[in-house]
Amino acid sequence: MARYTVAQYSIYTLLGWVKSGEIAIPEIQRPFVWEPVQVRDLLDSLYRGYPIGYLITWRTPKLRLKDGTLSTGKRILIDGQQRVTALMTALLGREVLNKDYESERIRIAFNPQEERFEVANPAIDKNSAWIKDISQLFTSPESSKPPLSPFQMRRDYCAKNPTVSEEAIEAALQKLRDIEHHQVGVIELADDLDIETVTEIFIRVNSKGVELSQADFAMSKIASGESYGGPLLRKAIDYFCQLARDPDFVHRIESQDKEFVQSEFWPAIRWLGSVRDDFYDPTYTDVLRVVSISEFARGRMGDLVALLSGRNFETKTYEEDIARESFAKLRRGILAFVNKTHFERFTMILRSAGFVTSDLIISRNAVNFAYVVYLRGRSTSDLSADELEKLVRRWYAMSILTGRYSGAIETIFDMDIRGIAEKGIREYVTSVITSELPETFWTGKLPLQMETTSTNSPYFIAFLAAQAFLGDKGFLSKAITVRDLLLHSRDKHHIFPRKYLQRLGLSRSQYNQIANLAITQSEINIAIGDRPPEKYFSELLDQANGGPIRYGGITGMKTLRENFEQNALPDYLLRGHVPDYETFLKDRRQLMAQRIRKWFESL
């Protein structure tokens, strides 16, 4: 059975779909990423009769209405959004949203004498040989008036260029106008295909195109649900994410989108306009994941698209009541996600666990599920605020240490939310942590996993978070904490200095082991330089016993011993014993793992 049909449609028909809103654009592969010269080249290809490739559309599933009839869904443009959007801005004169979420009009000029297209610019605007905007032939600024005909445009053009051939000019203009009759092949996918199949089709036919995710499908589905307030919901997600990255975007929304400003969503997200903090800047994928899991108890994005389409998973039909209810849940979930109290309290919880800067947020999926735990927990009457905060901290830390959301994330999301639904947050979180972090994890698995040079590894990140949470001082710092250094300026000091190890012939993968690194002040790092560890540890012991102050401000053995413990350094260094490098690394990994364990058990 064929899962698609192939048809030919004119450019005129495609633009008609855009005008009528029948086609959902530009919600997939958003926003418009073509450069203006690519728009020019597309028009040139059409003018010369060259093919511009197939478009692929998918009409979303038909909904069963209360009277038993079936509604027809909008067309979703699976492949060809950039081409159709280029035609929309060049021929219909419409603005598009560029990569910076700014409205932009791409104006294409045409020289009928040379039959050449260019992106309009001030020099072209002053040159009478150019028609400054070809959209005049296809649309009119006043909807009640028709666009200019080739005859009218030829007359105006020849008045400004009296020496040209009127017949040649009119022929070129008519050829330009005939672009709208150019036929384009459209592959129309069957409306009963599931979201996974549609995604696979896109990947196979357009592997070099803009990456398409199921979140893009979801955003397109949301925008096409006009009868359920979908366009405003989509804007709420997009605007929140943009404000998180660019708070000044608040002024553009207020000046350019009066309709949204009057909606319930604007007061809910406007607070971000005064926040200068990049700790957690969610993308629309993050928002959709959190809402899908917290409100729908579904870990798979495809399930969200199906529910918004009205999918009844039992009868395998599509029903309007399910679509309406799903959009209502989506609205509730979005408002919960963007709520100022929720968002700020959640990020505060992560910071309170020692993840004090965005540099320490290395797993967006772990953050997203931790937010799910927080939002679900707020609606649980048997959890106090203090207990919920503790559960969120411990769950996030466990997720980081075990790489819980680094593999088949949707499967894990689904398993975790079902577990929470069945057992409750307290019991499920406790049982998973007990299972994932047994005694052998701390004494065996974790030290082995710390044999890495990646300072973005979850183990080094966890160690830094542990130091920040426990109030540890920087290496050889008397008063300045690791938290201070992470928030401001710090150096990663090689305990066995890098150049010293290089002189011994060690490679980058050896001297850059995370077990050889400590956070310190830059002046301490500079003072140590490339001295052999035997030398500077001996001088440090002398300093702690009343000798010259060379490294930091520590002048007593008790304080130095505490600093070594906080930075997970073996105490035999305080006895003047410096072992071989590999022995030191092995011993320090064990101490770092113990420090991380102390942190986790204190959360």
pLDDT tens per residue across span 112-121: 999 999 999 9
Q: Band the pLDDT of 151: cuts 50, 70, 90.
A: confident
93-107, 113-127, 342-356: least confidently modelled range = 93-107
Residue 199 vs residue 485, higher pLDDT = 485
Name the residue ranges covered by the structural domains of the chain. Answer: 4-105+166-205, 213-338, 344-369+381-437, 453-602
pLDDT score recorded for residue 85? 86
Q: How far apart are CA 322 and CA 327, in angstroms?
A: 9
Average pLDDT, the chain: 88
> Average pLDDT of 504-527?
94
The pLDDT of residue 474 is: 96
Confidence of residue 94 (pLDDT cuts 50, 70, 90): confident
Q: Is the pLDDT of residue 41 over 50?
A: yes
Whether residue 408 is predicted with pLDDT greater than 70 in this model: the reply is yes
Of the candidates 403, 430, 429, 399, which has an alpha carbon nearest to the alpha carbon of residue 417? 429
| The two structure tokens encoding residue 36 | 């203006």
Q: What is the mean pLDDT of residues 518-546?
A: 92
Residue 439 reports pLDDT greater than 80: yes
Q: Work out the average pLDDT over 301-318.
A: 87
**Among the ranges 134-148, 306-320, 389-403, which has the highest mean pLDDT value?**
389-403
- pLDDT value at 208 more than 50: no
Paired sense of beta strands 183-189 and 55-59, if any: parallel
Residue the block writes with tokens 């009839």: 69
Per-residue pLDDT at 168 exceeds 60: yes
pLDDT, one tens digit per residue, over 66-82 is 455 555 667 777 778 78
Scanning the structure block, which residue is given the tokens 């969200």? 304
CA 283 to chain centre: 4
What is the DSSP track for 369-406?
HHHHHHHHHHT-TT--HHHHHHHHHHHHHHHHHHTTTS
* Strand-strand pairing, 183-189 and 4-10: antiparallel
Choose from 80-89, 191-200, 407-416 the range with maximum mean pLDDT: 407-416
Q: Which of 184-198, 313-327, 488-502 has the lowest mean pLDDT?
A: 184-198
Answer yes or no: pTM beyond 0.85: no
268, 288, 361 from 282: Cα distances, Å: 16, 10, 12
How far is it, in rounded angstroms, from Cα 424 to Cα 429?
Answer: 8
Flag the least confident range among 80-94, 104-118, 138-152, 332-346. Answer: 138-152
Q: Dump pLDDT digits (tens) for 242-273.
A: 999 889 989 988 988 899 999 999 999 999 99
pLDDT at 380: 82
For residue 549, pLDDT over 80 is answered with yes
pLDDT in tens, 355-369: 999 999 999 999 999
pLDDT number for residue 211: 47
Q: How confident is the model at residue 146 (pLDDT cuts 50, 70, 90)?
A: confident
